[in-house]
Structure 1
Amino acid sequence: MDPTARRRRTVFIAAIAGGLLLLLLIGVGVYGLIRGPQTTEPARPDGSTATSPTFVPAEPEPVVAFGGPEEFAGAVAEALFTWDTTSGYGPADYAQMLADVTADTEADAAASDVRSYLPMPEAWAQLRTHQTLQWLTIDTIEISAVWADAVAQAAPGQIPDGAVAYTITGTRHRTGYWGTDPVTTSHQVAFTVFITCTPERNPALPPAEPITETCSLLRLSQLDNPLR
């Protein structure tokens, strides 16, 4: 083979290998931290820089299932994205908080949805070496514009009573360390939370509302592929 052609082939193969490695790192969710500090930190939509969360619990926190559907959808979103690799807990522990408020009929499917939002155990172990924690700032929570059409066109019993789809947009933040240098990354996200809520009589005495709603998680859309 011509030496020049051999060199070109070697460069081409190296470029492909480098591209595949980059895709792998992005896929396991650690690229923003393991590549080392950036010269500038990603800016938030309001122009400021996210340097630390307002509050990231030291352990997984239960999702409150009582209240209104919009509040519950927001609580689900925060539970999906809020975790701390230095807490001593793992992805399964954070996933359990959502499993506890999932409708029984959708338990297996919803569990698979939730796992797709959390780092795999191998990625979690690598993120832990960088003391990574993550949280979400929510920008909008809105009922999907196509949801009413979906309900109208559904066959009887196809969609559970009280079901609603909230599309949520926001910013996922991660902080950690590359050596001794703090690193912060931010990424815009959008997804849809499918829930169902049932009105119930509130046993609490006035001035509490006489009727409250108990909500359950049904399914999640793919990340960044929401209903619009």
Structure 2
Amino acid sequence: MKTSAADTPPRKRVIVLIAAGLSVLLLAGIGVYGLIQGPRTGPPPDNSEADGPAATAAPEDGTQTPGRIVPVERSSDPETFARNVATAVFAWDTGAGFMPLDYTAVVMEVADPTGTEQAGLANDLAAYLPVREAWVDLRQYATTQHLEITDAFVPEAWATAQAQAQPGQITEGTTAITIEGVRYRAGVWNEKPVASEHEVAFTVFVICEPAYDTCHLLRLSELDNPLR
């Protein structure tokens, strides 16, 4: 893996570009609210579904033993890796014996190994998962979630950012991939299976070759506020 000072460009990421050239990006009309302002600290808007008929009463016949959360599949292709990350972020099962931080830890395993963006990424992920209290409520209904990706593309706003960046502001190999898809939730309510679906969109910021032999995750945009 190319991590030495000689092989790796300076660790100036897209976040540095936004911080240093914010006025330029705003003039360009790039929708990066999630990265500028930071992710939401509260639960996602539809967490309230957990309290209604979108979830289920779990059986009272014992505690399920945790198995293993599927790790994020690595790839050297930016789009493939972004799709793998998106799938992992939205895939969870409240009845599997894990908590939100367990799912966060799995995604963090593919984060930028320099650690530059890891604190910000952890906050980003927290906005995509139910808070602990909501998770406990969802567990009563054996709620599960997964994502069906309908499109993945490099947004035009990213090309604009690259064109406006000064040399060295964006590390070579850094890419933004906007993901569009449908988030599905399923559970049991009054002993009957129920389900809900909701269209979502967000941007995954990754860094791949030539900085690293395989892609790593930098940040996530605010949910439903992607780069276009």
Global fold match (TM > 0.5): yes
Quote the residue 1:15 is aligned against. none
Identity of aligned residues (%): 45
The structure with the greater share of residues assigned to strand is 1
TM-superposed deviation, 1:177: 1.2
SS at 1:130's partner residue? coil
Q: 1:37 to 1:127 in 2, by over 3 A?
A: closer
Corresponding position of 2:86? 77
* Matched pairs, number: 175
Match of 1:100 among 95, 109, 113: 109
Q: Is the 8 A contact 2:143 2:186 kept in 1?
A: yes
Shift of 1:135: 0.1
Q: Which residue is equivalent to 1:67?
A: 76
Distance in 2 between residues matched to 1:31 and 1:185, nearest whole Å: 12
Assess, with a 3 A threshold, how the Cα gap between structure 1 residues 215 and 37 changes in structure 2: closer, same or farther. closer
Pick the structure with greater CA Rg: 1
Structure 1 position 85, deviation (Å): 0.4
CA RMSD, 1 decimal: 2.4
Q: Which runs of 5+ in 1 are unaligned?
A: 1-25, 39-57, 201-211
TM-score, reference length from structure 1: 0.71
**Cα drift, residue 93 of structure 1:** 0.7
Aligned to 2:203: 192
Report the equivalent of 1:125.
136
1:28 CA displacement: 6.1
Report if the CA contact (8 A) 2:54-2:185 is conserved.
no
- Residues 37 and 181, structure 1, Cα contact 8 Å, conserved in 2: no
Which amino acid is 2:187 matched to?
A: G
Whether contact under 8 Å (1:33, 1:176) holds in the other structure is no
Shift in CA distance, 33/112, structure 1 to aligned 2, threshold 3 Å: closer
Corresponding residue of 1:32: 49
Show structure 1 runs of 4+ deviating over 6 A.
none
Residues in 1 aligned to 2:54 and 2:104: alpha-carbon distance in whole angstroms: 30
2:182 maps to what in 1?
171
